[in-house]
Structure 1
Amino acid sequence: MSTQQLPTKRQHVLDAMKTAHQTLQSVNEGANASYIPYLASVPSNLFGIALAFTDGEILEVGDTRYDFAMESISKVFTLACVLEEMDKETFKSKIGSNASSEPFNSVIDLELHDEHPYNPFDNAGAIATVGLIGAASPEERWNKIIGTYNRFAGRELTVNDAVYRSESDTNAHNRGISWLLKSSGSLQVDPDHACDIYTRQCSVAITCRDLAIMGGTLANSGIHPVTGKRVIKEENVPPILAEMMMNGMYENTGNWLYSAGLPGKSGVGGGILAIVPGICALAAFAPPLDVHGNSVRGQKAGIFLSEILGWNLFKK
């Protein structure tokens, strides 16, 4: 995908994006996620950057229309779905909201906290969050989740069946976590169903442009930046951004905040989302990951743009 057609009222921003893309395109650090066979096969040279401003302007550079799997970025929007049904204090009492130093799929972390989820962005907490959505059946629960995603994106999203099959064939660890949650009373629904829905949400296909628009809704206090429609209540945005600030980049969240100073969330599909509240959302896509599961080029792009455009929240 080539750079968005000019003119733009934010030419200086687009110039910064082009510089970031050209500078970082040759970075060859990291590797695709290998434990999910489909992700290992995604071309590692893909790289896109997109910004969605709260006034609806969208800027794009590079491979911004390539479909990739949401993976853990989906946790942000499932959290949004749950918070529309219960207040944040009730949610915190059931899931927790503290940072963890353990890997995102840690069983040890779960055991150390009496099999109670520590936050909604670790896999245990994400699976338990799925179980909190009020529904009479797994299909109703799924329809609520994908319906929320669709409203954030402003279009109908679909599951990449190849990703879903690949993940379902290799998710024994998450199934084990689901049963531990059930045994401790932290999961009130069928654990296999909860794990399956979690796997399905991770397999939803989006583009870098989609991700920027979805994040733009959070930057715009819950109002879709393009359609102008309210997607979630304004009061539900701060808890979501707080979770992104504490847990969004796995064990590397602290380093990300030191450098970028923005709430962010990554996924092992290669996506990175960062929110500049009241201004815009930044999305990047590049499949090679660091040891924590974060896109290498995506992080570097976010840090570069935050620095050059003065978006670091801690420098205001």
Structure 2
Amino acid sequence: MEICRDTEALNIMIKEAYQQAKFGKVADYIPALSWANPETLSLAIYEGKSMIATAGDTSETFTLQSISKVLTLAMALMDIGEDGVFSRVGMEPTGDPFNSIIKLETHTPSKPLNPMINAGALAVTDMIKGNTVEEKLGRLLAFIHELTGNSAITYNNEVATSEFETADLNRSLAYFLKQHRVVSSDIECLLELYTKQCAVEVSCEDLAKIAFVIGNEGRSVETDRTIIPLHISRIMKTFMTTCGMYNASGEFAIKVGIPSKSGVSGGIMAAVPHGPGIGIFGPALDEKGNSIAGMKLLESLAHRYDLSIF
């Protein structure tokens, strides 16, 4: 993949994608996210030992938000196994907004349909082993440090507090899940952990490194070791493909075809199987919560370099 030697084409794609940002708006239902500059767009592409292409300010940090759902899923699967996880969370796309409660009320048993919607992510976070919020969060951060090689990564307390204080809908989902014995934790502790996991702060380069490990069967080239078991990395890529871009996942699979996960901060993590990892940050969102410029940029990259898995 010779993107680094095709800077002219890359610059054209970025310019075209950047023009899409004017059609989006930053997330404002979490007050601390509303301060982001909607004109920002940055990109990092990592091939295992070095960044092969970058654009924009790739050192600028932003919070993972829903991208964290992929990582907590991996941890839960490693902690309690597939049978334990999928007895409490399903494997099917919903077609509904990521924060919808309707499928919980209309399906029996009342378990979330997949781990990428908020209800499913809350259930998955509840499964992470640890006796306290601090212990569980510490394990998640250590996992991210290993994936990125960046031990400075932590969570943004201002964003976490803002999310916790405005988490009424997620709190409602969590209480519903507890009523149906899908979660067992104290709800306020679960919400504290969940909002801190969403507020973990990374850069495009960090995202690209995480994506690379996921795309390459859980193995880090830099450390020459497996961080995520092969079968779990495959599960992660499958959910990223079927559910990773909220209720635009089907259209995204057709237009782009790269296992990806977005977050309402504007981040997108794209894991090309046996290929590069891609990290994008563009906080101007479409109506479904995906980075509007980031989606356009990934579509252009996928078409030009034949990155689709289909």
**TM-score (norm. length: structure 1):** 0.92
Corresponding residue of 2:294? 298
Deviation at 1:109, TM superposition (A): 1.9
Q: Please report how far the alpha carbon of residue 23 of structure 1 lies from its aligned counterpart in structure 2 after TM superposition.
A: 2.4
| Residues 1:190 and 1:58: Cα distance change in structure 2 (over 3 Å) | farther
CA pair 232-311 structure 1, distance change in 2 beyond 3 A: same
Task: Please report how far the alpha carbon of residue 16 of structure 1 lies from its aligned counterpart in structure 2 after TM superposition.
Answer: 3.6
Q: 1:238 is aligned with what amino acid?
A: R
> Which ranges in structure 1 are unaligned for 5 or more consecutive residues?
1-7
Match status 1:208 vs 2:192: no
From 124, 132, 137, the equivalent of 1:137 is: 132
Q: Is the 8 A contact 1:268 1:289 kept in 2?
A: yes
1:122 aligns with 2:114: no
Cα offset, 1:15, TM superposition: 4.2
The Cα offsets for residues 270-303 of structure 1, whole Å up to 9 and x where unpaired, read as 0011111001112211001011000000000001
The one-letter code sitting in structure 2 at the alignment partner of 1:143 is G
The Cα shift of 1:238 comes to 0.5
Structure 1 segment 173-212 matched on structure 2, within 5 A: 173-212=169-208
User: What's the offset of the Cα at 1:133?
Assistant: 1.3
The one-character-per-residue Cα deviations of 1:79-127 (angstroms, maximum 9, x if unpaired) are: 1111212332432222111101111011112212243111111101101
Structure 2 equivalent of residue 42 of structure 1: 36
Aligned to 1:24: 17
Q: How many residues get paired?
A: 307
Distance 1:297 1:57 in 2: 21
Residue 164 of structure 2 contacts residue 191 of structure 2 at CA under 8 Å; is this kept in 1? Answer: no
Q: Is the 8 Å Cα contact of residues 274 and 281 (structure 1) preserved in structure 2?
A: yes
CA-CA distance at 1:45 after TM superposition: 1.0
| TM-aligned CA distance change 1:93 to 1:14, over 3 Å | farther
Q: Distance in 2 between matches of 1:58 and 1:227?
A: 18
Q: TM-score, normalised by structure 2?
A: 0.94
Q: Distance in 2 between matches of 1:220 and 1:294?
A: 24
Q: Counterparts of 1:17 and 1:242 in 2: how far apart (Å)?
A: 28
Deviation of residue 24 (structure 1)? Answer: 2.0
Check if 1:109 corresponds to 2:103: yes
Q: How does 1:1-316 map to 2 (within 5 A)?
A: 10-27=3-20, 28-114=22-108, 115-156=110-151, 157-314=153-310
- 2:268 is paired with a residue whose SS is strand
Shift of 1:10: 4.9
Return the offset for 1:11: 3.2
Taking the aligned partners of 1:260 and 1:136, their CA distance within structure 2 comes to 41
Deviates more, 1:301-310 or 1:36-45: 36-45
The one-letter amino acid of 1:162's match is: E
- RMSD between aligned alpha carbons? 1.7
- Following the alignment from structure 1 to structure 2, what is the Cα–Cα distance between the partners of residues 47 and 226? 27
Classify 1:86/1:14 alpha carbon distance in 2 versus 1 (closer, same or farther; 3 Å). farther
- Counterpart of 1:298 in structure 2: which amino acid? G
- Amino acid in the other structure paired with 1:239: I
Tell me by how many angstroms 1:22 deviates: 2.3
Q: CA deviation at 1:229?
A: 3.4
Do the aligned residues in 1 keep the contact of 2:266 with 2:282 (CA within 8 Å)?
A: yes
Structure 2 unaligned regions, length at least 5: none
Identity of aligned residues (%): 31
